[in-house]
Amino acid sequence: MRNCTITGDSVLGQIAQEYAIFATFYAIFATLIGFDRMYTVAALVYPDALASSLTLPMEILSAASQTALANNRRARPLSFLLAGQVPGPVTLASGLTLHATASRASLPPLDLLILPAIWRTPLPTLKACSEWLPELRRLAATGTGICSVGTASCILAEAGLLAGRPATTHWNWFERFARRYPDVNLKTRHLITQSDNIYCVGSVNSIADLCVHIAENWYGSRVARAVERQFSPEIRQPFRAAAWQDPPRSSHHDETVLQAQQWLQNRLHQAVALGDMAPALGISERTLHRRFRQATGMTPQQYLNTLRNNSARDLLRRSNLSIGEIAWQLGLQDASHFSRQFRRQNGTTPGQYRAAVRGKLFDPG
């Protein structure tokens, strides 16, 4: 084999050129098989990263992709890659060696970037990741979802991405984080925060809750519930219960649709005649449906069904109400119809779901 010496800059340039060629061929391939592109998730690898905060998201999201593809061949596949300062092996403090396949110069377009939890003090990692800060700002500006785990939220704060935003971090760093980043709205009572496309989770366990939520957004509730059941549903907490989220205004800016969403929320526990909503808001039904779908990605009926489904799951977890009583709480008079609807959305009956999420709760006798 011929030996050669290549400088760092030329290596990065060669990688970027090779990726550009790959991206061109991939775009042609994606068009031919009928999807725009796969979901692409990357995790930044640094020596003090906790491997579990990389592998758990990878396994949950990969399982969601495989489940979706098993039921729909046109579902978007998922690619998970590791990014480092340069491609190559990275040995973690635990002794585990991971192989980074991408660098800043060779990152493809991403749907999600994960900043894994940092073992012990984050300060050395902050110094090591300083060259990544402009790239994080660029990714955030393009709409890429970025999620920090534990004290990796310090990296987001150093990049200026948490200024004036809600955030959380590992509990052991609450006081030091607040002193170091006084312009961040630290949420010490929440394990997850979301502000637009920026997520923070306080622990490795909480990244599982967020990944189930992301899987639901990408592949639907049925896939997310199937994956959740495989990853210990008895200890999982719904994203909406664990998370601090900015108000819906951050998702879209259509005031009429916001009013429609609030109209549906206010009537969640009663029978709803959707035909009454448009006149109540002073808009035609056709225009409202078009704007509602454009702003939320759902029809008003789908949005109402999602609200009911989320509420039903919380009641099944936390209350002793019968299935019929839960249906009545959600404005549905027919318990059988409620059960069929729940099974369509979650892939399991209400009774089976309740048994699964309560199956291993400690009973002191």
With respect to residue 364, please indicate whether it lies within any of the assigned structural domains: no
CA 84/CA 99 separation, integer angstroms: 9
Q: Are 96 and 25 in contact (CB under 8 A)?
A: no
Determine the pLDDT at residue 243: 61
With respect to residue 318, please indicate whether it lies within any of the assigned structural domains: yes
Task: State whether 93 and 38 are in the same domain.
Answer: yes
Which of these three, 194, 227, 245, is where a domain ends? 245
CATH code of the domain in which 159 resides: 3.40.50.880
Which of these three, 216, 245, 274, is where a domain ends? 245
CA 70/CA 156 separation, integer angstroms: 36
Which of these three, 222, 245, 268, is where a domain ends? 245
- Token duo for residue 15: 């990688």
Task: State whether 127 and 260 are in the same domain.
Answer: no
Determine the pLDDT at residue 272: 87
Determine the pLDDT at residue 33: 44
CATH code of the domain in which 277 resides: 1.10.10.60
Task: State whether 134 and 49 are in the same domain.
Answer: yes
Task: State whether 151 and 191 are in the same domain.
Answer: yes
Task: State whether 39 and 176 are in the same domain.
Answer: yes
With respect to residue 268, please indicate whether it lies within any of the assigned structural domains: yes
pTM value? 0.65
User: Between the CA of residue 319 and those of 82, 294, 296, 315, 325, what are the distances in Å?
Assistant: 42, 35, 30, 5, 11
CA 365/CA 363 separation, integer angstroms: 5
With respect to residue 9, please indicate whether it lies within any of the assigned structural domains: no
Determine the pLDDT at residue 8: 38
With respect to residue 41, please indicate whether it lies within any of the assigned structural domains: yes
Task: State whether 226 and 290 are in the same domain.
Answer: no
Q: Running along the chain, 365 residues long, what does each successive block of 10 average in pLDDT? A: 37 44 44 62 96 94 95 92 93 93 91 96 95 96 96 97 95 95 93 92 90 92 86 58 54 83 89 91 92 89 89 86 90 90 86 72 34
The residue written with tokens 């990688």 in the block is 15
Task: State whether 235 and 279 are in the same domain.
Answer: no
Task: State whether 36 and 55 are in the same domain.
Answer: yes
Task: State whether 25 and 76 are in the same domain.
Answer: yes
With respect to residue 301, please indicate whether it lies within any of the assigned structural domains: yes
φ, ψ of residue 133 in degrees (nearest 5): -60, -45
Task: State whether 292 and 181 are in the same domain.
Answer: no
Q: What is the count of structural domains for the chain?
A: 2
Range of the domain at 85: 19-245
Determine the pLDDT at residue 251: 57
Task: State whether 163 and 131 are in the same domain.
Answer: yes
Task: State whether 223 and 253 are in the same domain.
Answer: no
